[in-house]
Structure 1
Amino acid sequence: MRLSSASILIGTFVAAAFFALVAATFTARALERTSADGVRMELDIGGLEWTDVSANGLQVEITGVAPSEAERFRAITVAAEVVDASRVIDKMTVAASDSIAPPRFSIEMLRNDEMLSLIGLIPASTDREALLDRLRALPGLTEVSDLLETADYPMPESWPITIDYAVAALRKLPRSKISLSAGRVAITAMTESVEKRRTLENELRRDARGPVRLTLDISAPRPVIAPFTLRYLVDDKGARFDACSADTEEARDTILTAARGAGLTGDARCTLGLGVPSPEWAEAVSAAILALGRIGQGSVTFSDADVSLIAAGTADRATFDRVVGELENALPEVFALHAVFPDQTEAAPKGPAEFSATLSPEGQVQLRGRVRDELSRKSADSYAKSRFGSEKVYFAARLDDTLPEGWSLRVLAGLQALSDLAHGSVVVTEDRVSVTGDTGNKDASADIARILSDQLGEGQEFRIEVAYREKLDPDAARPPPEKCVADIQAIQKARKINFEPGSATVTADSRPILDDIAEVLKFCGPLRIEIGGHTDSQGRETMNEQLSQDRADAVIAELRNRRVATGGFVATGFGETQPIADNKTEEGREENRRIEFNLIDAAAESDAATDLENQPESGAEGSDGDQPKE
């Protein structure tokens, strides 16, 4: 039986379709295996071994328990890099949140004067608005940028006390960065001086309580030392520094190590400062100090790059020559050495020339001895009177035209050195300037050494025996700022600062009050004080505000005329906005017209109501009713 051509054609198409279906099935299964294997490999490479991958047609199913929502999302992202994202089927679950460790809560507080930025992560249970209100109330802050994020996890136990400490510390640090986490606070800040840094560090450590662990990095600008001076001497009393300067802590350690090798015992004060003449300062100074130690007694003085080494009369000449030669070769090129060996063969002069200046504890100065000529006498007399006061100087020196050249310069340098003492004396001879006495300045010896080395020049011998007495230190003896302001307010309770009616001119009877206030302020030293002017409610509000401002400015000007340091004073005119009595009575208006002295920090910390209740009843008299109130 013969098949028709139609049957043959149909059979051919059926067979082709069957073989195509079989091939497509095998291809699809191969594609499934390839996709699943590729995704599984990438997940393993990415550290996502907790996942399981299977293929369902062209779709890739991912199952498993993700440790966090972020890890689940990462698994989906990795899979989408291998196959199209539409083919990825997410059947993963996320581990229960209570089994996941809470995040690390932290805040970065960045303050630049009046601006504060907050960056970090805080517990959702933190009273965010209360924290921001506390920060906005800090003195000097005008803007707080809140960039904090929250997470709904339990608040660490030490979190509240850490926040409290950081906010309190921020009050004292107008320019700082405070990094805090639960129980830990790291502070980076800058202060105006080394003394301020020490005080601030002590206060911050004292206030750190309970579980708060504190890390401090507070810096202070270094002083400019000009000339850059160092003086080291060895005599019958032992080895010591009259002045010591270094540019780095490493340089200071190098210098002190050399000094101890040359006989120094005990502690030594070495000031870190700017102005070093060479980066090889420490090496040059160390070499010179060790050279002096080999010679024996004498002194070595650095004034910038000028070096003077003076041996004592007991030194051996051969040793001196050998050591000086070695030192000249060891010193860096920028340093110039001038070495002096005393001439022991020269006969002692008859009737040695001498000039002496004595400063008594009461401030009286007596000048005796010899000066070279009339011009020198006038110069010394004028200089002493300008330094110590015209009425306190007694000049009894005589003229001697045989005195050596440079005598007048030595006399003036000695008087300048004497002005750094509370009491003491200066003796000028042909071969030496000697300064002895007591001072309340810890750096007086270094300052005097700097003056003498700069004024006398190289090769000139001088001796400094100055003792620091804490009772003479004005900073140590000064009362706290609160006591100073309380004393001023006590003066104002008994007497009032009055002004001419409708003006900012202080009346004559108020000048003694300002004299007394000025004496208090001079004894207290530099303070940050707000001098507030207040008026009654009579007259225009804007006019009263301007009048109060003018009066506060006038008080600062009066104090400045009395030689009070007013650099930290601020004059503020409050006008009629802060009455302390009833403006409907003459007595009340009289009380409202007043001048107030307040510490700036104290005023900023108190709210307006408490401040008004506690202000002393002090005022400025004068008519404020220039025009009727509109």
Structure 2
Amino acid sequence: MRLSALFVRLGMFLLAAIVCAFAARIAVAAVETRSVEAVRLELEERGHSFASVLGDGLQVILEGQAPSEAMGFRAISTAGSVVDASRVIDNMTVMNSATLQAPEFSMEILRNDSGISIIGLIPTSSDRGDLTESLERIAGEDSNFADLLETADYDVPEGWDSSVEFALLALRQLPRSKISVRAARVSVEAISDSPEQKAELEASLRRSIPDGLLTNISISAPRPVVSPFVTRFIIDDSGASFDSCVADTPAAERRIVTAATAAGVEGRIGCSVALGAPTTRWADAVTMSMTALEELGGGTVTISDADVTLVAKPGTVEGNFDRIAGQLENNLPEVFALEAILPAAPTAGDEGPPQFIATLSPEGLVQLRGRVSDDLLNLTAENFARAKFGSADISMATRVVDGLPNSWSIRVLAAIEALSKLSNGSVVVEPNNIVIRGNTGAQDAGGEITRLLIDKLGQTEEFEVSVTYVEELDPIASLPTEEECLAGIIAVTEARKITFDPSSANIAGAGAAILDDIAEILQRCPDKRIEIAGYTDSQGSEGGNQRLSQQRADAVLDGLRVRRVPVANFRAVGYGEANPIADNETAEGREANRRIEFTLITPESTEEPTALEQIEQEAAEAAAAEQEDATE
């Protein structure tokens, strides 16, 4: 009995042990599952999804490939914050740093009247503090500055610093701009106040481009605001012409030009497209008025804002004048008001009106002669001319007479101011007319003079503006093209050759005079991109010839620099004995091959390929590689 009881107790003990072991296993499995799931969720939340989580009893094993040692350590630390750190086993590998691709660093800088904002990704090691301090200075104390930059811990790419430096330089000059910065590439979009300012800014920026920096500079000039908004059309014995022509849209300009051609205007016709029209029906009013003037057979019509002044030529039949003027008045858009004037026919025996005449010579000499009403006007006219022409070279040949019209002083000063808008010419003032003739380098000078006289004298006053645009006088249009600049340099270097001392980069004595002539040409080509190429003959080692050719090209570049040629867009390249133009076996051929050549640099595109273009390019490259393998 006792033995039987003993076996019973032993069996119960074994059964309890088995149950405990099974329960413990279940508990461990539950702990393992919860631990693995908790660690996995925390890793994903912290951005460490590269690590996979396995459980082995109470241990938590991390596997996978960490992007860096630092990221692997952060994953281990994250797991240790969920479970006891002693339970975390690190089985991760670290990605080879050589395979890591640095991101493309870039910035977008926006500047307008409210301030500056910057967004993008820059290297951590770049001087962010200096950058933001510079931007805050440019923005000014009363403007906003928004810094939305992010950083990444990679090396500063080559060309990044020069891109940032150029971007800041451009930003200082462009109060309304968007500048995109990448390593060795900068894109500038901006708005200027006028076409003249646009040309100046583009030339200034291109002169400042560092070597090796690719740029895309796009500056637009908004339509000017013209006030008063004036078109003045004339038909006289010499034909039909405009003193001033403005339109509110390109479509309106085309309509006005078509009407002018039908009325007899010959040659190139163009109107300034500007802001400031009193109504969208501006072209209707202008074309109706021009048609009415043509029907009258001559005279002038001035449309100034919403006022239309129709002046027939003397001798027009009164009944015909009344009919045409009445039709025009009834047909004009509602906002316009018509004043129709029929001058009296001239009488026989008229001795001619008194005159005041001002002339401006091409050399800048100003002469005032004719009649003035009093000594005060005489002195005022002289001082006004000195102020307007900025010159003490004023010749006075006026005399004071009585009986001049009350408006004579205003007419004389307005005439002097009108003359100041020309490069050379003359203005004749009479009691009932003012005639301005001359040459100018500004395409809208005639319109500007017309608006000036209407503003000073009123739109009922008679005046004639006969101004010729001369491209050579235009400081923008007269600039030579790239091809013209290069042709001038080639003409100089074909007639004479830049020579050097034997086996050196010292320019020989005659070469200095050639550089003087080239520098004179390049002074008028400030924003052109030119390569100075150096070549040698085949004597000597290939490496030595390459170095000598580079030194000689650098010497020419330095020679132009000391002659105050803006060479920021130039590059000097030595090509050694490459590209011979003559036989190196003869002394004459070797002499011809030792040369300096000037060529234009074709700008490379800075536009990024689209995703489709990139895929097509990669496919083409892969097909070419397969074809090459098959050939081999």
* TM-score with structure 2 setting the length: 0.50
* TM-score with structure 1 setting the length: 0.50
